[in-house]
């Protein structure tokens, strides 16, 4: 028991350290670069008044370390800073985009686990036969395809040729949950890569688990096939997959940005891309911290799930 | 588990199929610029026919010519980024695995762990906000994103090889670090690294093209398949070819590339994930 507790304490500490590192990294990448940040941010036709305004808003005349400290203390109090372009607090940008992104992410996660695990179990049950071959080749192929290319093709076929779904989310405003048709293609595209990786991992884990002595023993006791599959083999097969969920989290966050850009979805990804285009550094920084903290938290969750599923295995990197 | 005899045949057809899928975009990307010819006069945007057999794009250029020109940047950036990532990851991973000084190992690997905590595309977008990286800058960024993971794999493979009795024997013979590190350990982990490089290349291809689609590291009117997909989307209703053809080529390139890597390096062992099997 104390082993678990100390593991948990170490893991939480690592999470806190990672969060701090993310904050420093975000700051370093956007502000501590060589050259005059104000001139770079003013755009192609630098206007002296705009440069001066940027320098004042970002307090560029103060040393970088002091600015970092100020910014970090602000973050601790939930103050994400103020936009350079509109003067609105960054937190309003985050709350504007949060709803649609949460809807997209929740739907994707809700479907990801059953579809990914289901396909993996199905392939493992029929290993070497046609369902396995089809699932394995398709998941291997789609695994590496960028969302934007797949998404564009799906839009061309299902929105333009067949007219089943709207091509973008334009015109629905914030009320996306009332228009499920507009969500089908974005969720499908966002699911494509994580489902493939998850089902491949589950398939490999299931094949190992089904060949293990304990499943053979369970069969000898007369335990039914479905029970052996779902109650004995599956938990052991999912554990390595859960540890790999960290990579899936990274893909989902990247995917959200691309899918929102592709379908003109009014979420955090679109807010981020607009801020990047307008070189609105405080907004980009704020969103980067939000995304980074989310990654750290989700990774922590994935580790906890993996630990819970296989309590015996020491989770050593 | 693997029986060499009966499995050789399906393995060969898999390689052939993957080569077929990846071959078309690869050939277009590498040889296309040679056949592109001179730019013709600009026509109306999003027009069909009229001597342009794939129509024209958003500024009235011939789509087929843009296709011929647009693959090279994707493929070359991806190859360069993969090579660059290993250029850093190899020495870092090797030194971390072979050193006996714990602090050196920590000092080399801990800073890289920080990079892992930030989603890769986000890192690229962060830098793109302040700088406008060109194609070399984008390759550099994508390489940087890949260094931590590659260094970990190099370290793990090297640590396994360095723990073998052969290395102990070399050390007792007083062989130089160079001969042990590069001559023995480096050579014995080549297979693991080749498999990892293949998988990494497909990941890099994904990042390079996605960044280009989002407008990072490319000119807004660049001849680049990903940029074509993005910029010609406005004309999807009138002239779908300017979007569909480059999108199909990217799908074929990434899909075929991944199938090829798996068929060649996976050696027909579909149920053995890399580095498992005790």
Q: If you average pLDDT over residues A121-148, what whole number do you get?
A: 83
Residue B63 has pLDDT above 70, yes or no: yes
Q: If you average pLDDT over residues B253-275, what whole number do you get?
A: 67
The pair of structure tokens assigned to B224 is 């680049």
Q: pLDDT by residue (tens digit) across A276-295?
A: 887 777 888 888 888 888 88
Q: What is the pLDDT of residue B276?
A: 34
Three-class secondary structure of residue B17 per DSSP: helix
B35 vs chain A: nearest CA distance in angstroms? 25
Task: Report chain B residues whose CB lies below 8 A from the CB of A300.
Answer: none
Q: What is the pLDDT of residue A312?
A: 57
Running DSSP on this structure, what letter comes out for residue B68?
H
Residue A317 has pLDDT above 60, yes or no: no
Residues whose CB falls within 8 Å of the CB of residue A185, separated by 6 or more in sequence, listed in order: A151, A154, A155, A158, A159, A165, A167, A263
Collect contacts of A98-101 with beta carbons under 8 A, ≥24 apart: A98/A267, A98/A268, A99/A174, A99/A267, A100/A169, A100/A174, A100/A176, A100/A260, A100/A265, A100/A266, A100/A267, A101/A256, A101/A260, A101/A265, A101/A267, A101/A268, A101/A269
Interface test with A, best of B125, B132, B275 (most A CBs within 10 A): B125
pLDDT band at residue A61 using 50, 70 and 90 as cut-offs: low
Cross-chain residue pair B254–A149, CB shorter than 8 Å: yes
Task: Report chain A residues whose CB lies below 8 A from the CB of B121.
Answer: 253-254, 257-258
Residue A177 has pLDDT above 70, yes or no: no
**% of chain A with per-residue pLDDT over 70:** 84
Q: If you average pLDDT over residues B226-244, what whole number do you get?
A: 82
Q: If you average pLDDT over residues B137-147, what whole number do you get?
A: 87
Would you tell me how many other CB atoms lie within 10 Å of the CB of residue B276?
Answer: 11
Average pLDDT value for chain A: 78
Residue A316 has pLDDT above 60, yes or no: no
Residue A29 has pLDDT above 50, yes or no: yes
Cross-chain residue pair B121–A258, CB shorter than 8 Å: yes
Q: pLDDT by residue (tens digit) across A84-109?
A: 777 788 888 888 888 888 888 888 88
A71 vs chain B: nearest CA distance in angstroms? 17
Q: What is the pLDDT of residue B228?
A: 85
Q: What is the pLDDT of residue A18?
A: 80
Rg (CA), chain B: 22
Closest among B100, B101, B104 to B163, alpha carbons compared: B100
Q: What is the pLDDT of residue B84?
A: 92
**% of chain B with per-residue pLDDT over 90:** 2
Q: If you average pLDDT over residues B124-153, what whole number do you get?
A: 84
A206 vs chain B: nearest CA distance in angstroms? 10
Residue B268 has pLDDT above 70, yes or no: no
Task: Report chain B residues whose CB lies below 8 A from the CB of A156.
Answer: 236, 240, 243-244, 247
Q: What is the pLDDT of residue B271?
A: 41
Residue B142 has pLDDT above 60, yes or no: yes
Q: What is the pLDDT of residue B266?
A: 63
Least confident stretch, A33-47, A249-263, B19-33, B64-78: A33-47
Q: pLDDT by residue (tens digit) across B87-119?
A: 988 888 888 877 777 787 777 777 777 777 777
Residue B4 has pLDDT above 50, yes or no: no
Task: Report chain B residues whose CB lies below 8 A from the CB of A145.
Answer: 206, 250-251, 254-255
For residue A30, give the nearest of B129, B254, B255 by CB distance: B129
Cross-chain residue pair A257–B244, CB shorter than 8 Å: no
Three-class secondary structure of residue B226 per DSSP: helix
Least confident stretch, B35-49, B124-138, B231-245, B260-274: B260-274
Residue A36 has pLDDT above 70, yes or no: no
Query: Cα(A245)–Cα(B56) distance, rounded to whole angstroms?
Result: 43
Residue A111 has pLDDT above 50, yes or no: yes
Average pLDDT value for chain B: 78
Interface test with A, best of B110, B156, B206, B231 (most A CBs within 10 A): B206
Residue A315 has pLDDT above 60, yes or no: no
Query: Cα(B22)–Cα(A17) distance, rounded to whole angstroms?
Result: 43
Residue B277 has pLDDT above 50, yes or no: no
Closest among B147, B138, B165, B82 to B111, alpha carbons compared: B147
């Amino acid at each position: 028991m104390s082993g678990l507790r100390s593991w948990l304490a170490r893991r939480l500490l690592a999470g806190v350290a990672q969060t701090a590192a993310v904050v420093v990294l975000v700051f370093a990448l956007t502000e501590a670069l060589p050259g005059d940040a104000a001139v770079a941010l003013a755009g192609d036709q630098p206007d002296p008044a705009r440069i001066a305004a940027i320098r004042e808003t970002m307090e560029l005349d103060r040393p970088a370390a002091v600015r970092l400290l100020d910014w970090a203390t602000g973050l601790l109090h939930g103050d994400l800073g103020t936009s350079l372009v509109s003067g609105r607090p960054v937190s309003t940008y985050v709350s504007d985009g949060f709803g649609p992104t949460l809807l997209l992410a929740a739907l994707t996660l809700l479907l990801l686990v059953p579809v990914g695990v289901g396909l993996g179990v199905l392939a493992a049950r029929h290993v070497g036969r046609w369902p396995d071959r089809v699932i394995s080749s398709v998941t291997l192929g789609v695994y590496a395809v960028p969302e934007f290319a797949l998404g564009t093709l799906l839009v061309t076929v299902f929105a333009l040729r067949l007219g089943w779904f709207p091509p973008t989310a334009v015109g629905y405003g914030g009320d996306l949950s009332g228009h499920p048709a507009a969500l089908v293609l974005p969720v499908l595209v966002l699911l494509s890569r994580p489902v493939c990786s998850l089902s491949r991992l589950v398939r490999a884990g299931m094949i190992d688990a089904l060949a293990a002595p304990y499943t053979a023993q369970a069969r000898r006791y007369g335990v039914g096939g479905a029970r052996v599959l779902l109650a004995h083999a599956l938990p052991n097969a999912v554990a390595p997959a859960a540890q790999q969920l960290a990579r899936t989290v990274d893909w989902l966050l990247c995917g959200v940005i691309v899918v929102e850009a592709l379908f003109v979805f009014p979420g955090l990804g679109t807010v981020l891309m607009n801020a990047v285009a307008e070189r609105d550094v405080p907004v980009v920084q704020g969103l980067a911290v939000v995304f980074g903290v989310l990654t750290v938290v989700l990774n922590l969750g994935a580790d906890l799930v993996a630990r819970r599923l296989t309590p015996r295995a020491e989770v050593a990197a | 588990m693997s029986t060499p005899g009966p499995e050789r045949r399906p393995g060969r057809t898999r390689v052939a199929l993957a080569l077929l899928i990846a071959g078309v975009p690869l050939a277009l990307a590498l040889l296309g610029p040679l056949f592109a010819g001179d730019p013709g006069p600009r026509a109306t945007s999003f027009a069909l026919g009229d001597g342009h057999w794939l129509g024209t794009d958003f500024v009235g250029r011939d789509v087929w010519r843009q296709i011929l020109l647009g693959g090279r940047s994707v493929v070359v950036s991806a190859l360069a980024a993969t090579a660059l990532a290993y250029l850093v990851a190899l020495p870092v991973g090797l030194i971390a695995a072979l050193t006996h000084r714990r602090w050196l190992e920590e000092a080399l690997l801990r800073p890289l762990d920080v990079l892992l905590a930030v989603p890769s595309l986000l890192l690229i977008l962060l830098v793109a906000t302040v700088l406008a990286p060109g194609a070399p800058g984008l390759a550099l960024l994508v390489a940087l994103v890949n260094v931590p993971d590659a260094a970990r794999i190099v370290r793990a493979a090297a640590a396994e090889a360095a723990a073998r009795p052969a290395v102990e024997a070399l050390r007792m013979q007083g062989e130089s670090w160079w001969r042990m590190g590069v001559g023995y350990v480096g050579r014995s982990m080549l297979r693991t690294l080749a498999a990892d490089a293949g998988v990494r290349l497909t990941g890099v291809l994904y990042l390079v093209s996605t960044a280009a689609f989002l407008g990072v590291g490319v000119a807004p009117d660049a001849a680049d398949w990903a940029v074509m997909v993005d910029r010609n989307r406005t004309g999807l209703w009138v002239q779908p070819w300017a979007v569909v053809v480059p999108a199909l080529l990217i799908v074929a390139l990434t899909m075929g590339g991944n199938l090829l890597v798996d068929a060649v390096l996976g050696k027909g062992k579909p149920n053995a994930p890399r580095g498992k099997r005790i």
